[in-house]
Each structure stands twice: as structure tokens, then as C-alpha cells.
Structure 1
């Protein structure tokens, strides 16, 4: 399974267009696109509402099946992800999610907890913490490989996580 995940693009249509054109089994935008729900650049992806999104057509979360994996996408502000991932962890357990995608903090990272992959792709335009602007590519096979890529599509960081 291959996923492309972005978040916190804050109105940058060109970046969303470029990242969403990449080949994947599914593409996700984890909120704060600041585009309208009906914007054509968002049509080929799952998308959720972030704290800066004003269009009420966005759902606060989506739960979808991609190649037998349940994927939960949220923005993260309603789960207080800047303080802890515990709120997301409990939501994931309750929903039976295999993967949780979220944004909001503008900091990329990935970790596996109790067989659930938690992934923040970072921000495509406003990174924090001295990190680069990024999106993520998840390759889930025998192992889980997460690539954090810059806007030139170069890998700036990667994590390989044993699939438990």
C-alpha cells in the first residue's frame, strides 16, 4: 500500500496540486488547506477540516479502508496533538484504525504504537521547529517505510518501522 499525505498547506494551491499528482493508492490532506471543499485540486483526495478551514463541508475526520487497512485522518487540533497523542490513540483504538494521519503542529514525525501507525506529514508551506517543508509517503509492506519529502520531492528524512 502506498499513501501520500500532506497537511497545513495554508492556501498554497500549487503545492497541493503538485503533491496530489503523485502516484498512490490514496492521497490525504490533513486539514488547513484553506481552500474550498469544492476546489478541483482537492477532488482526488480524502480531506478533513483544520482549525483554519472555513468551509463547513469539510468533515472533522474520515475513516476509510485502503487495501485492507483502516485509515483515520484528522487535523489534530480537536485531539490536542501539540500536547500528547493519547487522545488520538484512544480514538484509533475505539475505531479499529491501523493508521492515524494528522497535522496541526507543522512538525513531521511517525511512530508505531500497539500496531497503529501515527503520522504527521509536517507542513508543506509553514514548517516549525527548524524542519523543512514536507509531505509524507507511506509504503506499507512487510515493514512500514515513511519518507518525508520536500517540495522538490527529495527525501529529507525517513523512518522504517517494523510492522508488528
Structure 2
């Protein structure tokens, strides 16, 4: 079990490629009852028997997108859709997910950057968190790095989006080996106004 204090969290990863051990470790994190979903930003060798078996037998929500090394037709064997990008919302946090080789931002996919709180991409195999203000709204960009083939001197990594009971959220990038915290940043969560009729 993941030793973090939180109400719930999202697991975020990309670029596992064919590393069975890395996917197995991530799957154990995703099986934590507090995990709302496993967001996957592309490049997973689904033709690998062990990897496809993990995905067929999973008991967690897995939301992948297509990476430059993925063949979306291979994913039909595990009954999963593999779009080029996807959008989702958890606990008021609006999220855009893409591998990053084609759609590095929502606007590259024909959407408005300002409509999202968090933009997740992979592809570079280097972890990082950055933010910018777009039309008076902060948008946070997350690359979870690679848990199997890190580049540029970075460590094998993954990310968590942690939701607390008070409504706050924080992104943490963690080392796959030892679960050590590598980077973190608070994320503003834009709650919908409550109607009092």
C-alpha cells in the first residue's frame, strides 16, 4: 500500500514501453482503494503477453492515450479504446491527456488551453511540472517521466495527483524505486459554485 496521507489520488504515468516490472509496480499502486484512476500518457507494448495480461485482469480504472510507439489496433485485444488524446475531470480538476508527440497542448488538438487545469503529456521520458497563466487562469503541465527508460539524467518516475479532504490538490512526482519524492506542486482546483435554491 502506498504510504501517503490523502483522501484520494490519480496515478499518472507514461512511457513504460515493455518493462513488465514497472507496469506491475504501477498496477499495485493503482489497486489502492483511494486511487480514482490510472491516467496513462502513451507508449506501452500491449503485444507483450505479461503486460496485456495485467491490463485484462486489472481491477482499476485505466485511461490510456496513444503514443508514437503504440498501435491502437493492438489494444482491441484487451477491449480498450486508445484515442490520441482524452479529457476527464476528477474532483473539480479538468484534465487533458496526450502523449505529446502530436498534441502537446489542448490547443494543438483544437481545444482551449484555458479550459483545463492540468495538461498531462509524456514522450520525452523526462519528468517535470510547470505552470503558466492563460487568460487569468493557471494551467499546470505535467510530464510524469518514464518508469522504465528515463532520459536526460532523470530517474525512473511516475506522478500522483493527490486530493485532500479540504478540497486542495497537489502533484507529486515520485521515484519508482523507493517511492522517494522528486518534485511537487500545488494545483488550484476550480470547484463549481454550489446552488442554494
What interval of TM-score do these two structures reach, taking the shorter chain for normalisation?
A: 0.7 to 0.9
Give the match for residue 87 of structure 2: 63
Q: CA separation of 1:162/1:6 partners in 2, compared to 1, >3 Å: closer, same or farther?
A: closer
Q: Secondary structure at the match of 1:39?
A: helix
CA distance in 2 between counterparts of 1:140 and 1:72 reads 18
Q: Which residue of 1 aligns with 2:179?
A: 154
8 A Cα contact 2:157 2:176, kept in partner:
yes
8 Å contact from structure 1 (residues 150, 156) kept in 2: yes
CA distance in 1, matches of 2:44, 2:118: 21
Kindly provide the CA deviation profile for residues 4-50 of structure 1, in whole angstroms up to 9, marking residues without a partner as x: 111100111331122122132221111001215x9243353100110
In 2, Cα distance between equivalents of 1:51 and 1:76: 9
Which residue of 130, 134, 137 maps to 2:153?
130
Give the CA deviation at 1:126. Answer: 0.8
The answer on 1:39 being equivalent to 2:52 is yes
**TM superposition score normalised by structure 1:** 0.81
Q: 1:48 aligns with which of 54, 65, 75?
A: 65
Tell me the number of residue pairs that the alignment of Structure 1 and Structure 2 aligns: 157
Partner in structure 2 of residue 85 of structure 1: none
Scaled by the length of structure 2, the TM-score of the pair is: 0.69
Cα drift, residue 159 of structure 1: 1.9
Aligned to 2:40: 29
Structure 1: runs of 5 or more not aligned: 82-87
Q: Distance in 1 between matches of 2:20 and 2:176?
A: 13
Please say if residues 147 and 155 of structure 1, whose CA atoms lie closer than 8 Å, have aligned partners that are also in contact.
Answer: no
- Distance in structure 1 (CA, Å) of the matches to 2:168 and 2:132: 14
Pick from 76, 82, 88: which aligns with 2:100?
76
Q: For structure 2, which runs of at least 5 residues remain unmatched after alignment? A: 1-7, 76-81, 190-197
Give the corresponding residue for 2:21: 14
